[in-house]
Every structure is written in structure tokens, then in C-alpha cells.
Structure 1
């Protein structure tokens, strides 16, 4: 089979992932794909009569439709909550540099974690690969969900492990520095005689980078260390197995798409209601009527008659109600994914979420575990003890409706000598009124907490 071959699970879910790509890009992407808005039968028949002259009917129908950016807005809100989380990172001394430079494009571990969470929320799947650069240092690469086209797992050492992973990559096709054309290539990871090998093939199957053990660096093809496994992790929305997980925001995306389709009918109906269609009959053939409007008068001759075909719009309200129903369905779906309120214990939450539906809580935990596993792969590759690696994130989301009055009340209590300054800081952090990573000095400086006259002034 050719390198372009895809996993059956990929084929089953690629349409969902493309839908999510369009949903996140926004209205422009939705409207560029005619599949998202089927043509009404009348427009189909009109184009059969004159495809060029009647194409404007569907174009106007599409232009009036409105796509709501619920998916993009929800993702932004969720990432706002995630951005407040502070990862706990422990690495061997020789790997400390990864904290600030961990990815192939130069970002640190914290940004890599946020990137993984974002993609898990939007697509339910984050392909993460550990590799070695030309200097022998490890780095991490993530792939778009739709570019991880094939994978296989088989029995290795008594357990199921990956033995094949294929990814699409894009490379500059020309030397012109201002050109944006790219060519598609396929990066392949596979196990041969218990060692992980890698190669790059072109679309025609031609070898662009020869097959060699992963970790081979330099002009002399020096091997840092052969790996007895594929350093590939498919981080999902509920676990990190190679199987495809559910897309957390898929229900919301479908509701947004259905609302978009309904809006095309709704706004077209409103347009037709406010623009009645004139009709004319019984006029002589030589009579020409090419102008309409309040400044034009028609001479219909002795036998002519005219009138208006008015769109009654009896179903407009029903369509508007259906659009509102889709909005409510989308908001409900987003709330289920968010699921961050309350003081529920980890075990209680785990029991309640035992139905394996993805939530922001499960996504954060899964992404942190996936990144920790990748760091352990890197540590083993470099000869360090994987047990020295730690990357954990406590998914303690605090949703608060606090405002400036609550901050002011805390400061006034301190100024009046009722509570200590350290208690003010603790209360502000506990109530999520300030970022948890702000230092005591920064808090005092930003809130202008000068020592009060008399009363408690503990630091």
C-alpha cells in the first residue's frame, strides 16, 4: 500500500475535524464550502435553465446567511481559564533548557501544554512526537489532527505498542523567498528489529530522507541512542491511547452550523417580505418596461394589468425559534465541556464523569500526562532517570463574579487594621481576583498597599 494510506479511524473522523477547522476559522471558511449550505431546490432548477445568469440567487442566499462564532468564543473562554493554571515542572539538570525552549519552533513547555490543551478541546486529538535535533538535544513537535493520517499498534513485549505512525508535513517548494507554495511530504516512524526508524517520502513515494534509526545526527549519522519504541503520543480528550477520542466542541459546532443554515432561510424570508415582487400581464409586445421604482410610471396599454406578489412570511417566526433552539443547544454543550464550577473533589468528579465524556478537567489532566510521558521519553533518550521527570497541572478552575468592590473591601479591611496584609493577598488569590503567579511585591505595588497608620501591618 502507498504511504498515503490512512487509518480507518482517520477516515471515519476526518469530516468532523474539517468541520472544526472551518468552525474555528469562522464565517469566511464556512461560506467558502458550499456543502455547509445546501442549495434550495428552486435555485437548483434555476441554474439548470441558466447556470451563469442565475448563479446570483445562491450567492445572495449565502451572503445573507449568518454564522455565529460560538465555537471560537467558547474555546477562547476555556483557554482563559487554562491560562491561569501553573504547571509543576521537575527535570534533570541537563534538561532544564526545555522549560524555555521545548518545541521545534522555539516555545517552552508551558506554551506547549497550552497548545496541546487548545487542540484537544477543538479536535479531541493531539499527535505529539519526541525527536532529536542536529546537536543531539530533544525537542517536541505537534501535528494538526488531520495531518496524522495513519498509525498501527501491535504486540511488542507482551503489550500493545505503536509500530507505525505517518504524518503529513509541508515544505517550501521553491527557492523564491517571497513564494508560499509548499509541497506535501510524509514523515514515517516505524519499528524495525526492535528499533525505531524514521524516513521522509514524497507524494510519489520517492525517498527524500533515507530510512535510518531515529536519533541519528550530524554528517556522520551518529546515533544518539536507539529507541525500542515509537516516541509518539496521541494525547486525547479523555485518554492518551492511539484510538480517536471524541471532539469536545463538536456538538456546539454542529449547532452553530445548523443555525447558519436556518439563518439563510430566515434572512432571505425577511428580505422577500420587505421587497414584494411586481407582476405584469396583458401588455402589448411592443411595450417595454425596464424601469421600476417610485420615480417611474408604467403605461400598460388598454389591456394591461399589474400587481404585487407579496411574501407572507408565515414560517419566519418558526425559523427564528429554531435558531434560538440551536443557540440554547450550543450553550448547553459548551457548559458540559466547561464543567469547572464547585469544590468537588477529584475522586467525586472522576466518578461522576465515568461516562467518559470529555470536559475541561479531563482534557487538562490528559494533556499534562501526555506531556509528562513525552518528557520521560526524552529523559530516557538522553540517559537520565525518567523518574526524575515531573509535569503535573492541578485543574483547579475558579469561576468568580468578583469585581473591583471586593478588592477594595479587602484593602479597606487591611487599612483599618482588621486583617494582615498577607491575609489580603491570600484572599485575593483564593478568590481568583489576581493571578496566582503574582508575587507579594507585585500585588503590593499594583494595589498601592502602603503601610497604614496604626493597626495590623504584618507582611
Structure 2
């Protein structure tokens, strides 16, 4: 099979990762994929009759649709919480340089930890590869979920361990000038052979770009620092750090946002149509020029002609708006579930409540820290240091921001009812404080985000209540 072959697990989850990529990139990426907004049957039939002439119908339909950036906003809020955490790091003296220079692009362990958490939240998975550069110095590489295309686990010395890992990379094409950004894909392969880990790089044509050598071979003299009896790759996930693909924590929110986008196309198209009544004419004995309309024009319909306006009643508009509200509430609930950062309950009670193994911010911080610690132990073993001197721990104490679980639950209910804005709900979860703005500004923000579910809002409050 070619080097581009993919794992069956990868194939099953690729559409989810692609949806998350588009959700985080925003409305332009969502609209760029026509599959995200199916054409109504009427537009399909119209394009069958005149594809070029009637293309504008779907283009206008898409242009009116609105994609809500709930996923991107939630990720930003969660990373705001994570950025307050302070990792506790212990390393042998010979590995202290990793504190400030741990990644291929020169960032330290703390920034690497944040990268791991961010990708776990958004995609549920990020491979972490321990390696040694040409100078014999240790560093880590990371890959996105969509570029970790293949992996395989098999029995090694009586244990199930990784025997293959393939990652897609992008390199500048040969002969490019200094201003071009054109790249071509290559594939970095880690495999177990004769009890040792080997690395090689291949191109799309199946040709070897970098010859297969024992991992750890460095420098122009091809010096082997030390071979490894395992592949130093950790697949950091949302629930554990095994090679199997974990759930994508924000996938439910992304799907709700996509469904809201699809509903908004119908909603805003219906609003457009109901605001533009269609004139009709009947009973004319001969052809009459009726191309000009408006308050400055008059039609001569003759003795038997009649005219009027066909106005859309819009009976289904309210149902579509209600469906959009339902998707907004589903997104809020999905975000709140992932944001579950604990409260005053005991550890055992919390463990029992999370027994369904859904990914929470708490669990993702723990798995990211454990994955990074495992990678550091790989490097310590590789470089000949004592693994017991390596430690990377993070206490996910999010409650230090002063978030009251009961208040958060009440704000979630209020946000679903349209009594407070969604921005206020997320800001409270991020900072433990409500935003400093008056009721008028809050009302305007609610109106910008859409009508309240069930008609609830500030209308029933007098000025004293608002203050």
C-alpha cells in the first residue's frame, strides 16, 4: 500500500475534524463548502432549466445565511481559563533548556502545554513527537489531527505498543523563489524494525526523500545518539492518551452552529421575501408595458383588467426562528458541559457524575499534562537521564476565578431564555465576574444575538428593576 494510506479510524473521524477546522476559521470557510448548505429543491430545478442564469438564486440564499461563531468564542473562553494555570515542572539539569526551548519553532514547555490543550479542546487529539535535532538537542514536534494519517498498534515484548506512525508534512518545492508559499506534501514515517525505531520521509510519488535511519541519527556525520526500542509518540486525547481517537469536545456545539446556519438561510430568505410583495395583473385584452412600478408610475389596465399584490404570510417563519433558538440553546448546553470545571462537590461525587467519560476542561488539562510528562520521560530515557527526575503536573483549579456553580447554572438558564446575553454568560465563566455595563447596553446585546426564547426579556421590567 502507498505511504499515503490512512487508518480506518482516521477515515471515520476526518469529516469531524474538517468541520471543526471550518467552524474555527469562521463564516467564510463554512460558506466555501456548498455541502454545508444544501440547495432547496426549487433552486435545483431552476438550475436544471438555466444553470448560469439561475445561479444567483443559490448565491443570494447563501449570502443571507448567518454562521454564529459559538465554537471560536467558546474555545477562546476556555483557553482564557487554562492560561491562568501554572504547571509545576521538574527536570534533570541536562534537560533544563526545554523550559524555554521545547518546540521546533523555539517555544518553551508552558506554551507547548497550551498548544496541546487547545488542540484537544478543538479536535480531541494532538500527536506529540519527542525528537533530537542535528545538534543532539531534544525538542518536541506536534501535528494536527488531520495530518496524523496512519498508525498501528501491535504486540511488542508481550505488550500492545505503537509500531507505525505516519504524519503528513509540507515542504517548499525545490526551485521556489523567496516570495512564494507553494508547498508539496511529504510523509514522515516512524516504524519499528528489528527491535528499534526507524524514521524516513517519502513524497507523494512514493520516492524516498530522507533515507530510513535509526531515530536519533544526527548531524552531517550521521552520528547515532542512541537508538530507541519504541516509537516516541504520544497521542494526547480528550479522555486518554492512547492511539485510539477520542471524542471531539466541541463537536456538538459545531453541529448546532451548522444547523443554525442552515436554518438561518431559510429564515432570512423568508424575511426578505415577505418584505417584497409580488405584484400581479389579470384580465388584460392586449399586451401592456408594466415594467415600471412605484409611487410615480400608473398602469392603464383597461376596462377588464385588475391587479394586486401577492404577500407572503410567513406562517412558517416563527417555527424556523424557534428552531434556531433551539440550536442556540443546544450549543450553550454543549459548551457548559465541556466547561464543567467543578465546584464544591467531593472528588468521588464528581467522578461519579462524569462517569460517562465525556470530555471536560478538567479532564483535558489532566490528559495534556500527562501526555507532555510522558514525552519528557521519553526524552530523559533517550538522553540517559533518570526518568524519576521528570515531572510535569498541572492542578486544574479553575474555581480560583470565583465561579459559583449555582450562579453559572442560573446564568445559563437566563441566557437560554434571552434575559441575559450569551456574552455575559461566557464572560462570567471566564472571569468569575459579570460585565460592567448598564441594562440598556445588555438589552442591545441581546437584540443583536437574536430574539429571546419564549418571548422573555426586559420588556416586563420597570426602570427600578432594571437598575
1:391-433 CA-to-partner distances (Å, cap 9, x unmatched) read 000111114269xxxxxxxxxxxxxxxxxxxxxxxxxxxx989
User: What does residue 459 of structure 2 align with?
Assistant: none
Does residue 25 of the first structure (1) align with residue 42 of the second (2)? no
CA distance in 2, matches of 1:432, 1:261: 34
Q: In the alignment, which residue of structure 1 is the partner of 2:364?
A: 363
What does 1:224-239 correspond to in 2, within 5 Å?
224-239=225-240
Summarize the alignment of residues 65-104 of structure 1 with structure 2, pairs less than 5 Å apart. Answer: 65-104=65-104
* SS of corresponding position for 1:77: helix
Q: Distance in 2 between matches of 1:87 and 1:10?
A: 31
Q: Name the stretch that deviates more: 35-44 or 298-307.
A: 298-307
Aligned to 2:246: 245
CA distance in 1, matches of 2:215, 2:169: 17
- The number of residue pairs the alignment matches comes to 405
Question: Is 1:198 matched up with 2:199?
Answer: yes
Residues 15-37 of structure 1: CA deviation (Å, up to 9, x unaligned): 01101111111111111111111
Residue by residue over 1:189-222, the C-alpha shift from the partner in whole angstroms, topping out at 9 and shown as x without a partner, is 1011011111111111011111111111111111
- Partners of 1:199 and 1:325 in 2: how far apart? 50
Larger Rg: 1
Distance 1:379 1:432 in 2: 40
Q: Deviations over 1:421-450 (max 9, x none)?
A: xxxxxxxxxx989xxxxxxxxxxxxxxxxx
Task: Find the partner of 2:402 among 396, 400, 403.
Answer: 400
1:169-318 pair list within 5 angstroms? 169-173=169-173, 174-283=175-284, 287-301=288-302, 304-318=305-319
Deviation at 1:238, TM superposition (A): 0.4
Q: Which runs of 5+ in 2 are unaligned?
A: 405-430, 434-467
* Cα distance in structure 2, aligned partners of 1:338 and 1:187: 35
Q: CA deviation at 1:181?
A: 1.1
Q: CA deviation at 1:180?
A: 1.4
User: Closer, same or farther in 2 for the Cα pair 1:273/1:138, shift >3 Å?
Assistant: same
3-state SS in 1 of match to 2:162: strand
Return the offset for 1:172. 1.1
Measured after TM superposition, the shift of residue 350 of structure 1 is 2.6
- 1:304-330 C-alpha deviation (Å, 9 max, x unpaired): 443222111001111111111111111
Secondary structure of 1:121's match?
helix
Counterpart CA distance in 2 for 1:292 and 1:280 is: 12
How far, CA to CA, are the matches of 2:148 and 2:336 in structure 1?
Answer: 29
Residue in 2 aligned with 1:426? none
Deviation at 1:177, TM superposition (A): 1.5
Give the distance between the partners of 1:292 and 1:213, measured in 2 at CA.
80
Q: Provide structure 1 residue ranges, at least 5 long, that are not aligned to the other structure.
A: 403-430, 434-459
Aligned counterparts of 2:245 and 2:335: Cα–Cα separation in 1: 20
Q: What SS does the aligned partner of 1:295 have?
A: coil
If the length of structure 1 is used for normalisation, what is the TM-score? 0.85
Deviates more, 1:308-317 or 1:167-176: 167-176
State the 1:286 CA deviation: 5.2
Equivalent residue, structure 2, for 1:62: 62
- Deviation track 1:156-212 (CA, whole Å, cap 9, x = no partner) reads 011100000011111112421111111011111101101111111111101111111
Give the RMSD, CA atoms, in angstroms: 1.7
Cα separation, 1, equivalents of 2:270 and 2:300: 31
Does the CA contact (< 8 Å) of 2:403 and 2:432 recur in 1? no
